[in-house]
Chains A and B, each alone.
Chain A
Amino acid sequence: MNPLLELRGVTKEFSDGGLVERLLGSTRSVIAVDDVSLEVYPGETVGIVGESGAGKSTLANLITQIHEPTSGTIVYDGVDTEYYLADGLKEFRQSVQMVFQTPSGSIDPRYRVGDWVEESLIVHTDMKKNERRERVLDLLEDVGLSEEYADHYPHELSGGQLQRVSIASALAVEPDLILLDEPVSALDKSVQFQILKLLQTLQEERNVSYLLISHDLRVIRELSDRVGVMYLGEMVERGDTEALFETPRHPYTESLLASIPPRNPDQDRFHNSGDPTSATDPPSGCSFHPRCPYATEQCHAESPPLEQIAPDRSTACHHWEEIE
């Protein structure tokens, strides 16, 4: 089976300043995403976990074609995304949808929620008004909202209800891939569970793929089949979710797992005092080495590449075998 979405060695560098500054060498640049490769197959959920500065938002923007990669390629449905940008953006937009972190901010406050769900139908289909209306009500029902919600404004609904609306509107044009960007972080715990349940049910019914981005490992574990761990723009470990959680093969993954409360006492081995190093001034060699209890001279000098160590696992660490 071919992957639906493929990133091959994608790098995104941002630099400030124009031509003159560049000539003078006085620009600062940030490598927000550094040589990241991943695949998402039809019907599966791939989780991307990382903390602030990991490059998750940039990754999302690259996939949704808001930014273009500095190098590397993104292939969607067998076609290089450069083509979509040039000629087939609408087609792409119908197939790749997104749900955002802040439910209330991501819906036009002056739009009734039913009309909001209808927007993509208006843009992508030739359906007539009454057909669209029916579809909107069906979609709302699918996400657990009764008909009467369609005529309400966003400020009249709670966060959980609004997120359901966003999910409904993402599903409206039957996309093949949905990017979920921290879909439950802004919601109360009890509601988080309901929304995740909903997402899982919808995936089973429609065979849609999810790319789930979250800083919360507990959320990642609930939905993801496979996981990629990002640190300072790099993919440092990748593999099957359960196995990765059970036996991490990268020190950063290990520290993340140890920090889920209740914390593992081992947590203190990671020199986590101070800020994670900044992306504008990354450390030499392996970017995690200043915080790593396994670090050696080699780590300081050489940046480890992401290598496959098992059929279902890759890691970017010189000393992965030492991690129990």
Chain B
Amino acid sequence: MATESVETDDVGEENLQSSVEQGYGLTSDQIMLYAGILLLAVSGLVALFAPYIAQYGVNESNVLNSFASPSIAHPMGTDANGRDILTRVMFAYRTYLLISIVGLVGSFTIGATMGLVSGYYGGRVDDVLMRTTDALMAFPSLILGLALVAALGPSQWALALVIVVGFTPGFSRMGRNTAVSIREELYIHALRIKGVGTRRILFRHVLPNASTALGEQALLRFGTMVIVIATLSFLGVGIQPPHPSLGLMINQGADHVQRAWWISAFPAGALFLLVLGPTLVGQALMDRYDPRNQ
């Protein structure tokens, strides 16, 4: 594509107008974005209000009604102990979201900050940090997770710690790479020439510019964190019974797939939707800010 490297005053005027006008119809990015936001919102609301909207208790078992297929009374059916699956799914959302959010905030804050600062300053500090993250990332994360859980005993906090330890190196590397590329930007050089101090440059210029890219990555990683929790639970080392866990429910339902498919299917579907939400939003943001689309 032949591009013209010079600019004209006409362009500015058109751009002022187009930021006011909206196009008709939705682009695929917009659909992804809204769908993702919707899913996230629904998941969040469900998790938040679970205690109020659930019709049954989490562990309210009615053995007489076990393996009941989906009905109006039990939209997702009941499990081997006659517990309402819908209720358990809702409370599982609660737990998963809580752990993931804690894990995300922890790993992102620690990792991205370390990475950004180290990337901007460069030098020795940067070298040391990068070697450390390389080492951590070389270690298979699932094994690391299992080891930590074995050491601390399965609990919600152990899981949150697993997430933090597992994802911090990745964010730190991302933060560092972003800082390195922003550091080279002409406007950062311009700020130095203006006499703006390093701290101000970092917080008011590097960080905001990094945040979009990092934010998208954070959302995408969020989905992965949920899957990690589900996997560990599926393996039996995550959320322990009788607390409801999507992973564990999928596991338990595996034995009854033919007779009572709903015991695995609904939790699996719920897990899928929980992961899909943030992933769609993250992907849509990435596409929107993709320089190719400018």
Contact of A110 among B193, B197, B208 (CB under 8 A): B208
A236 vs B117: C-alpha distance when bound (angstroms): 44
List, sorted by A's number, 8 A–B pairs whose CB atoms are closer than 8 Å: A66-B193, A98-B190, A98-B193, A106-B190, A109-B209, A123-B197, A158-B12, A159-B6
For chain B residues 1-39, which have a beta carbon within 8 Å of chain A? 5-13, 15-16, 19
For chain A residues 150-173, which have a beta carbon within 8 Å of chain B? 152, 155-161, 166, 169
- The answer to whether A157 and B12 touch across the interface, beta carbons within 8 angstroms, is yes
- The answer to whether B12 and A156 touch across the interface, beta carbons within 8 angstroms, is yes
- The answer to whether B9 and A191 touch across the interface, beta carbons within 8 angstroms, is yes
Q: Knowing A158-B8, A159-B7 are in contact, say whether A107-B187 is a contact too (CB < 8 A).
A: yes
- The answer to whether A120 and B7 touch across the interface, beta carbons within 8 angstroms, is no
- The answer to whether B7 and A124 touch across the interface, beta carbons within 8 angstroms, is no
- The answer to whether A108 and B195 touch across the interface, beta carbons within 8 angstroms, is no
Is B196 on the interface with A (CB-CB < 8 A)? Answer: yes
Residues of A contacting B7 in the complex (Cβ-Cβ under 8 angstroms)? 103, 158-160, 186-188, 191
Q: CB-nearest residue of chain A relative to B197? A: A123
- The answer to whether B190 and A186 touch across the interface, beta carbons within 8 angstroms, is no
- The answer to whether A105 and B195 touch across the interface, beta carbons within 8 angstroms, is no
A186 vs B205: C-alpha distance when bound (angstroms): 24
Is B243 on the interface with A (CB-CB < 8 A)? Answer: no
Is B288 on the interface with A (CB-CB < 8 A)? Answer: no
For chain A residues 121-174, which have a beta carbon within 8 Å of chain B? 123-124, 152, 155-161, 166, 169
Q: Knowing A100-B190, A161-B12 are in contact, say whether A186-B195 is a contact too (CB < 8 A).
A: no
B-contact 0/1 string along A96-115, CB 8 Å cutoff: 01101011011111110000
Residue among B192, B193, B200 with the most chain A CB within 10 A? B193
A152 vs B19: C-alpha distance when bound (angstroms): 10
Instruction: Indicate the size class of the contact surface on chain A.
Output: 35 or more
A105 vs B186: C-alpha distance when bound (angstroms): 6
Q: How far is the CB of A81 from chain B (nearest CB, A)?
A: 14
Is A271 on the interface with B (CB-CB < 8 A)? Answer: no
- The answer to whether B6 and A120 touch across the interface, beta carbons within 8 angstroms, is no
At the interface, is chain B mostly helix, strand, loop or mixed?
A: helix
- The answer to whether B195 and A124 touch across the interface, beta carbons within 8 angstroms, is yes
Instruction: Indicate the size class of the contact surface on chain B.
Output: 20 to 34
Q: How far is the CB of B35 from chain A (nearest CB, A)?
A: 27
Residues of A contacting B191 in the complex (Cβ-Cβ under 8 angstroms)? 108, 119
- The answer to whether B5 and A105 touch across the interface, beta carbons within 8 angstroms, is no
Q: Knowing A107-B187, A187-B6 are in contact, say whether A94-B195 is a contact too (CB < 8 A).
A: yes
Q: Knowing A89-B195, A123-B197 are in contact, say whether A161-B9 is a contact too (CB < 8 A).
A: yes
A121 vs B40: C-alpha distance when bound (angstroms): 42
Q: How far is the CB of B201 from chain A (nearest CB, A)?
A: 10
A108 vs B15: C-alpha distance when bound (angstroms): 18
B-contact 0/1 string along A184-204, CB 8 Å cutoff: 001111110000000000000
Is B185 on the interface with A (CB-CB < 8 A)? Answer: yes
Q: How far is the CB of B274 from chain A (nearest CB, A)?
A: 31
Residues of B contacting A89 in the complex (Cβ-Cβ under 8 angstroms)? 195
Q: CB-nearest residue of chain A relative to B4? A: A188
Residues of B contacting A119 in the complex (Cβ-Cβ under 8 angstroms)? 191, 194, 196
Is A259 on the interface with B (CB-CB < 8 A)? Answer: no
- The answer to whether A158 and B10 touch across the interface, beta carbons within 8 angstroms, is yes
Residues of B contacting A109 in the complex (Cβ-Cβ under 8 angstroms)? 187, 209
Residues of B contacting A291 in the complex (Cβ-Cβ under 8 angstroms)? none
Residue among B12, B15, B186, B194 with the most chain A CB within 10 A? B194
Residues of A contacting B186 in the complex (Cβ-Cβ under 8 angstroms)? 100, 102, 105-106
Residue among B191, B192, B209 with the most chain A CB within 10 A? B191
